[in-house]
Structure formats: C-alpha cells, structure tokens
Amino acid sequence: MNDKYETHEHDVIIIGAGGAGLRAAIECSASGLKTAMICKSLLGKAHTVMAEGGIAASLANVDSQDNWQTHFQDTVFGGKYLNNWRMAELHAREAPERVRELERWGAVFDRTPEGKILQRAFGGHTYKRLAHVGDRTGLELIRTLQDKGIHQGIDVFMECTITRLLKDGDRVCGAFGYWRETGRFVVFKAKAIVLATGGLGRCYKITSNSWEGTGDGHALGFDAGAELLDMEFVQFHPTGMVWPPGVQGLLVTEAVRGEGGMLRNNKGERFMEKYDPKRMELSTRDVVARAIYTEVKDGRGSPHGGCFLDISHRGAEYVKKKLPSMYHQFKELADVDITREPMEVGPTCHYAMGGLKVAADNGATGVPGLYAAGECTGGMNGANRLGGNSLSDLLVFGRRAGMGAVEYARAAPAPKTDDVEIEIAAAEMTGFFGRSNPEDPYKLHLDLQNAMQGLVGIFREEKDLTAAIAKLEEFKQRAKNVGVVDGQRMFNPGWHLCRDLRNMLICAEAITRAALLRQESRGAHSRIDFPKYDDYWGEHNIVIKKGGQTMKVERCSVVKTAELQPLVDDKKAKEKK
C-alpha cells in the first residue's frame, strides 16, 4: 500500500449498489470472476428502496391475456416510439423470468387467491402487470439481491465515492475514489467496469431523489468518452408531496392510483377527463404531470399548490394493507389520514430516461471495457418511462451488463493504471481545500437546482433554455472556485458536494442542450413554442458526446428491429382509434 492511496484489484468492478448494480455483481461473481461492488452509501440504502409500486412483468397471473408482446407495445407507446426497440423487447421478454428468479432467491410478493404472485394495475400498462409487495417493492428487491449477493463472495466497498474512471489507451482499467469515512484515496484496478449509479434528480429543486442522485455514472461515463442519449427526457412523477415544505417532492407512489385513487382539483372535478378520458388517472406519467401542473397554473390547485389525490373510498383496512407506507408517510409527516381525507400532491423530478448509450444485448458503452445498466443508461424508456418498468429494467439489464462485463474481462489483459492520471484525480479532490474565499458548494447547488427547476422543468421554451445555458456557463465558472473552509477530510459532506456538483453540471448542461435542440413536444419533453409532435423528431434521438471542452450535440436514428415493426404498427393503429 502506498501512503497516498490504497489499491485493490478485481476482474470486474461495479459502481453503484442499487438493483442494477447488485444484479450485475451477482452475475459477475456467479461466473467465478473476482468482483467488487462500490457504493456511496451503506449497502441496502440505494434509491431502489424508494421504488414502491411494483415490478412490471407479463406473468399473466391476474390477467391471463397478458404477454411480452403487449408489454413491449405498452413500453414503446409510453416512450413515444423513441425507445431502442431491441431493449424494449429484451425487457418485455425477460422480465417474467427475472421476477420468478427473485422469488427463488427469497422475495415474498403479495399473493393471488391461488397462491401465485399478485399483480396490480399501473399507468400505461394494458393489463394488471405489476408484481408487488404492498408499497415497498423496491425494498424487497434490494434486500433479496443484497442477501443473495453477500453470500456469493462479492467484495463490497461501502461509503466509497468514485470520482474518475482510469484509462489505459481507449479502454478503462480502473477507478479512483475516496472513502467517505476517512477521506483517504483509493484506486480500484479492473479489467471491466459496470456503471449502475442511478439518476440525476438532485439537479432539480423539487425531487424524489436522495443525495446520491447526482448523475455520477452519466458524468463518469461521459468524461471517459461514452455517449449520452435522450438527455432531454426527465420524468416528473405526477405525485410528490407538496406539504410540509421539508418533504416537498417526496414520492407518493403511483400504486395509489393503481389501487383506484382519484385526482381532483379545487372545484372537485376529476380533471383527467379533460386530458386523457380513456386512461384517466392511469394515463402515462408525462400526461398526468402536465395535467396537474396546468390545473395549478390555471388557479384550480389545492391550498399548497398541488391537487387532491383521494383513496379514502377504498376503506381504511384496504388502504392500510395495500399502501401501508403511504398511510404512515402522510400520517406522520403531514398530519393527513389518507383513509379519511385526500392527499395534496404535485409533480416532482423523479427519473432520468436519458443516460449512457449502450448496446441492448450486453450494456456495452462505446468505451472498451465500460458497461452500464439501469437509470444511468438511456434507450430502454424512450421519451417517457412507464411506472413499474424501472425495477424490471434493473434486473434484466443489470444481468445483461454483468454478462457483457464477464465476457470482456475474460479476454482482457491485466489492468495497467497510469500514475499521472491518478495524481490528477487526487489533485482535483485536494484542490477543494485551501482556496482563499471559496465558492460555497451548498449555495451553488441551490442556485443550480433553482435554475433547472425554473427554466428546464415540465414546460420549456427557447428563451428559458437559452437563459439556462447562460446560467450554466456562469455556474461552471463558479464551480472552479468551489471549496471548503473547514479543512478536514473525515466524513465531510461539504467537501463531497464540491465534487458532486461537477457531475450535476455535466448532466444539467446535457439536459438543457438536448432540450433546446428538440423542437417538438414528446413524452416528458414539452416545448411551449413547439407544442406538437414532429415526424422528423419521432424518428430521431439526440446523442451528446465530448468534443474537447464542449459538448457535441448530434442526432441519430431510432434503433428499430424489422421483426418488431408489425407490433409497433399494430399499437399505433390501436391508439389512433
């Protein structure tokens, strides 16, 4: 061990320990490779625990007509046909087996009267499709994978933040980071790396994301030369808490609507009749979020700037059984008894559809040795993700990225890191200390969140997006002088935030630049100045890559598969009726 940093060597390292990271790690270690999983928090605390409603898979336990083809059609319709078709296909085909596998590993789902896995309705899904455990499905998923993984010999490095991927020529050969506890540096050498770092919601003021959602994988991959896809599509979940102020943005699961919850404005009207009379409250998330936003803007909102969501008609016993954590969340944090009175809810930044561009079958990015899975990737969800498709995405593509990394690592030579690159990475982190009159990271973060919320939110237009670009340029300058006064490295959140800001700024800029280029409204991206679908853009994704010091924003054609064309045509025809 060197006095500046410690070194570990593995065949594969997985960065992130949510559903995708854990599933990838299980795949790698099951193949006999020496596998490490690195996470910023304690194991089992990743944001996957906040996935509440369920995991979408066409098991057909409740609605026997369901099949993978319908799930595929629902997914690409929800994604407004911008999805990578092959990813949507693999996802729909493999999700049922991943759910059954989870059950064999110890997950205990709610049951049908016949004793099978129970499935519930959710927005945009034609059939009752979401396997669930009350409203804590994500916790069940993560705990099951965690308990499976720890007995399989995965080396887990907890509370360790990666700040840079290390390269040997074109390919990745390791990662540099710091221990949160001690502030000491650490180098992981590896033949292959899987990024599974989740989302970027902390770029926005009102978000359901925890402190971890700073777009680390997006930025680490981008910095290493990988491409970002569909970054303009940021999902605002229609129902976040709006009161009290401290919990603004906290998720209210879509399962409330799946179980029959109704949305009303301050006139008592079920306003979804105006926006999607066919699907009503179970329309896709982009539609419901815009509807609530519009009702509030036009003066029909609830006292704290949201709308009302009511489940009380289902009866106290049912609500407490099927939505226990929602019951407690509102009772304890907002003094609202949801079995008797409506909740107040409004949109909250929840999920990034956009992310690293990967190969559908094995999660490979364009950088040799670098793989990715889960929310930090793009393509699977297109312009809008259906609820329930995230947990299944994590399992299907976590496993596939693991397989990809295994195949690569088996053929790859021993990793060779470059001391100069490590020195640069270390200097970046120590550079946040000792600056005279440094920029306050908390202040800069708040300014970034306010700018993104105000200028690049649910509804966008050119003048706002242009203003946002200018602000981001200013923030990037300020970020150069960000630093901490209290000069110690042990568990110092101010110091950690200094580095996280850089990732958030990359994501925010990618979102804004892509949003400016896409001159149409589609899925989660709504342009006031271009309110309609545009046929050209319906066939194109936006890709962002590194071009020296700037971002290169380009367009590419949607990835289609000839065999799936009839399914897509069939769905389009049905939806036109």
Partner 1 sequence: MSRRTFKVWRGDPNGGAFVDYQVEVQEGMVVLDAIHQIQREQAPDLACRWNCKAAKCGSCSAEVNGKPRLMCKTRLDALPTAETITVSPMKTFPVIRDLVTDVSWNYTVNKKIPPFTPGADATFLMRQRDVDRVQEFRKCIECFLCQDVCHVLREHDLKPQFFGPRFLVRVASLEMHPMDTLDRLKLLKDEGGVGLCNITKCCTEVCPEEIHITDNAIIPLKERVVDKYYDPLRIVLRVLMGTGQDGGAAGK
* Active centre residues (catalytic): 237, 257
| Beta pairing partners, 346 | 240
Q: Which is nearer to partner 1, 136 or 167 (CB)?
A: 136
Number of H helices, E strands in the chain: 16, 21
Least Cβ distance, residue 208 to partner 1 (angstroms) = 9
Amino acid letter, 483 = G
Q: Which is nearer to partner 1, 105 or 533 (CB)?
A: 105
**Residue with structure tokens 């928090």?**
41
Question: In 225-367, where does DSSP find H-type helix?
Answer: 255-258, 272-275, 285-297, 316-322, 324-334
Amino acid letter, 115 = G
Q: What is the DSSP letter of 117?
A: B
Q: Report, in this order, helix, strand and coil percent for the chain, each rounded to 5.
A: 40, 20, 40
Contact (Cβ atoms closer than 8 angstroms) between residue 35 and residue 156: no
**Residue with structure tokens 């360790």?**
160
Least Cβ distance, residue 38 to partner 1 (angstroms) = 15
Contact (Cβ atoms closer than 8 angstroms) between residue 175 and residue 188: yes
The count of residues in the chain is 577
Cis, bond preceding 244 (omega within 30 deg of 0): yes
Contact (Cβ atoms closer than 8 angstroms) between residue 126 and residue 94: no
Q: Which is nearer to partner 1, 106 or 277 (CB)?
A: 106
Residue 200's SS3 state is coil
Residues that bind partner 1 (CB under 8 A): 41-47, 49-50, 100, 103-106, 108, 110-111, 114-116, 133-134, 136, 139-140, 143, 147-148, 150-151, 156, 158, 181, 210-212, 243-247, 250-251, 325, 328-329, 332-335, 440-442, 446, 484-486, 488, 490-495
Q: Which is nearer to partner 1, 158 or 262 (CB)?
A: 158
**Residue with structure tokens 């927005």?**
123
Instruction: Report the alpha-carbon distance of residue 163 to residue 176 in Å, rounded.
Output: 6
Which of 111, 154, 78 lies closest to 387 in space, CA to CA? 78
CA 308 to chain centre: 26
Q: Which is nearer to partner 1, 17 or 90 (CB)?
A: 17
Q: Which is nearer to partner 1, 89 or 140 (CB)?
A: 140
Instruction: Report the alpha-carbon distance of residue 36 to residue 34 in Å, rounded.
Output: 7
Instruction: Report the alpha-carbon distance of residue 200 to residue 286 in Å, rounded.
Output: 18
Least Cβ distance, residue 244 to partner 1 (angstroms) = 2
Q: Which is nearer to partner 1, 61 or 392 (CB)?
A: 61
Residue 188's SS3 state is strand
Radius of gyration of the chain (CA): 23
**Residue with structure tokens 């490095």?**
157
Q: Which is nearer to partner 1, 491 or 533 (CB)?
A: 491
Instruction: Report the alpha-carbon distance of residue 237 to residue 324 in Å, rounded.
Output: 20
CA angle 449, 452, 458 (to 5 degrees): 125
